Amino acid sequence: MSEGDEGTTGSELDRLASVNLNLLVPLLALLEERSVTRAAERVGLSQPAMSHALTRMRRLLGDELVVRQGTGVTLTPRALQLIAPLRSALRQTARVVDLPRFDPATDQRVVTVAMTTSTAFVVGPRLSRLVAERAPHATLRLRTITVPADATFTDQGVDVVLISEGHSSPYPRERLYNDRVVVVASPDTPPEASALDLLTTQRHVVVDTDRRVFPYSVLEEKGIPYSVGRLSSDFLLVPFLVARAGGVALIRHRVAVAMRSLADLRIEEFPFPLPGLGIDMVFNPRLSDQYFVEWLRALLFDVAAHL
């Protein structure tokens, strides 16, 4: 390193010594949450204390950082530029000071996993058992969602979201398990009837929505006739009603297999090619404890391996 480099570095360190570095953690929380209230809750400050910290950060950086827009707030261009380097710097700092690592044998945190009700029906039981066995002092919280929104990944302490490959995500994702659509019918339907026969002769039990859910569009494109006999606002009721009261339905294979342990259910393959319906993991991008992330990732893969 040249003398000029040393002088520059020394000058930067001298300037940094005059900065209250305690402001950086609430600053990142504020930029990620875009809410003084949520940021205060996240870092354990009162709302007045967070507002005071915001005032000091604005003065320090010479920028408003967050400005009101309608009923919400928006970040200034300078604030948007700060998020990535600030997050990286704080993560590096955490490694330097060697904060206590996640220890599943003693950790008492709440592990929060968000997913649809049908995915929870498939993975929830084994996930619950494994968390109880491997992190006996932790609490598992299952949050059920319908269509994931951006706030799902950042609000209320969600650690990981399990979403269908058909739903978009602004964050990195990794396949947990693959799935597909199958035809389910009552066990007392004619055994010689093919899946296509079942779809055209049995009345359908469907989710009560304005539009028929995929893959009914495939049946309609191919001109396959079908009739609807029952509507249900609860997706999980569909295969249960079919098993106990007759009819036919189109559901995920993993859900059908799990439901068959509770009620006798006939399962047949869908008669036409379909794209996959895999389930992906999307981890909260704010998680800085990589030991916890890797532990939870391995745990979820263990769950999927035994489906």
Tell me the pairing of strands 160-164 and 110-115. Answer: parallel
Tell me the pairing of strands 66-69 and 72-75. Answer: antiparallel
Q: Tell me how far apart the alpha carbons of residues 101 and 289 are, in angstroms, rounded to a whole number.
A: 7
pLDDT of 50 strictly over 60: yes
pLDDT of 236 strictly over 50: yes
Q: Mean pLDDT over residues 109-121, rounded?
A: 92
Q: What is the pLDDT of residue 95?
A: 67
Q: How far is CA 223 from the centre of its chain?
A: 36
Q: What is the pLDDT of residue 151?
A: 67
Q: What is the pLDDT of residues 252-267, one digit of tens each?
A: 999 999 999 999 999 9
Tokens of 58: 């604005």
Q: What is the pLDDT of residue 15?
A: 65
Question: Which letter does DSSP use for residue 148 in this model?
Answer: -
pTM for the full predicted model:
0.69
pLDDT-derived band at 112 (thresholds 50, 70, 90) equals very high
Is the CB of residue 249 less than 8 Å from the CB of residue 177?
no
pLDDT-derived band at 4 (thresholds 50, 70, 90) equals very low
Proportion of the chain above pLDDT 70, given as a percent: 88
What are the chain's domains? 3-97 (1.10.10.10), 110-178+278-305 (3.40.190.10), 181-269 (3.40.190.10)
pLDDT-derived band at 158 (thresholds 50, 70, 90) equals confident
Q: What is the pLDDT of residue 7?
A: 46
Q: What is the pLDDT of residue 29?
A: 85
Strand-pairing partners, residue 111, are 140
Q: What is the pLDDT of residues 63-111, one digit of tens each?
A: 999 888 876 678 899 988 988 888 888 877 766 666 667 899 999 888 9
Q: Cis bond leading into 273, ω under 30°?
A: no
DSSP SS3 for 183: strand
How is the beta sheet containing 248-252 ordered, strand by strand? 228-232, 204-207, 248-252, 181-185, 266-269
